[in-house]
Amino acid sequence: MTMINDQSYVRTEMLGEKSPPVSNVGIIGWMKNNLFSSPLNIVLSLLSIFAIYSVLAALLPWVFGGVWYASSLTECRAILFEIHGEATKRACWGVIRERFWQLMYGFYPSDLYWRPNLALVWLFAAIAPVLFNGLPKKMLLVSVAFPFVAPWLIWGGSFWVPVMAFMGFVVGFLVHRITSKTISSLVGIILGVLAALLWWLLLSGPIAEMMESIVPLEITKVGSRQIGGFMLAILLGITGITLSFPIGIVLALGRLSNLVIVKALCVGFIEFIRGVPLITLLFVASVLLNYFLPKGTQFDIILRVMIMITFFAAAYMAEVIRGGLAALPKGQYEAADALGLDYWQAQRLIILPQALKISIPGIVSNFIGLFKDTTLVSIIALSDPLGWVKLIQGNAEWNGVIWELYGFVAFVFFLFCFGMSRYSMYLERKLQTGH
Interface residues toward another protein, by CB under 8 A: 329, 331-332, 334-335, 337-342, 345, 349-350, 353-354, 357, 431, 433-435
In the complex, what is the shortest distance from the CB of residue 316 to another protein, in angstroms, rounded to a whole number? 25
Beta bridge partners of 158: 218
183 vs 293 by CB, closer to another protein? 183
- Residue 430 CB, shortest distance to another protein, in Å, is 12
- Supply the minimum distance, in Å, between the C-beta of residue 292 and another protein: 41
Q: How far is the CB of 429 from another protein (least distance, A)?
A: 14
Contact by Cβ (8 Å): 168, 199: yes
The DSSP result for 324-338, as a single string, is HHHHS-HHHHHHHHH
Spacing of C-alpha 230 from chain mean position: 13
Q: CB-wise, 3 or 338, nearer to another protein?
A: 338
Least Å from the CB of residue 432 to another protein: 9
> Which lies closer to another protein via its Cβ, residue 166 or residue 333?
333
d(C-alpha 314, C-alpha 273), whole Å: 9
CA 340/CA 269 separation, integer angstroms: 32
Which of 89/348 has CB closer to another protein?
Answer: 348
Q: How far apart are CA 56 and CA 198, in angstroms?
A: 61
- On whether the CB atoms of residues 180 and 188 are closer than 8 A, the answer is yes
Q: How far apart are CA 383 and CA 348, in angstroms?
A: 40
**Residue number with CB closer to another protein (257 or 354):** 354
Task: Name the residue nearer to another protein (CB basis): 117 or 345.
Answer: 345
Whole-angstrom Cα distance, residue 80 to residue 102?
25
What distance in Å separates the CA atoms of residue 174 and residue 136, rounded to the nearest whole number?
Answer: 27
CB of 338 to another protein, least distance (A): 4
Least distance CB 361 / another protein (angstroms): 17
Residue 34 to residue 183: CA distance in whole angstroms = 71
Nearer to another protein (CB atom), residue 51 or residue 327: 327
The type of residue at 429 is R
* Minimum CB–partner distance for residue 342 and another protein (Å): 6
CB of 137 to another protein, least distance (A): 14
The residue type at 331: G
Nearer to another protein, 109 or 353 (CB): 353
Nearer of residues 47 and 349 to another protein, judged by Cβ: 349
Q: Report the Cα 348 to chain-centroid distance in Å.
A: 23
Helical H segments across 256-351, by residue range: 260-274, 278-283, 289-292, 301-327, 330-338, 343-345
Task: With both helix axes pointing from N to C terminus, report the angle between 160-182 and 185-198 in degrees, rounded to the nearest 10.
Answer: 160
Give the residue with the Cβ less far from another protein, 271 or 334: 334
Widest CA span in the chain: 116
Shortest separation between residue 264's beta carbon and another protein, angstroms = 22
Give 43's contacts (C-beta < 8 A, 6+ positions apart): none
Least Å distance between CB 431 and another protein? 7
DSSP state of 218: E
By beta-carbon proximity to another protein, the closer residue of 350 and 377 is 350
From CA 199, how far away is CA 205, in angstroms rounded?
9
Q: Report the 3 state secondary structure along 169-195.
A: HHHHHHHHHHHHHHCCHHHHHHHHHHH
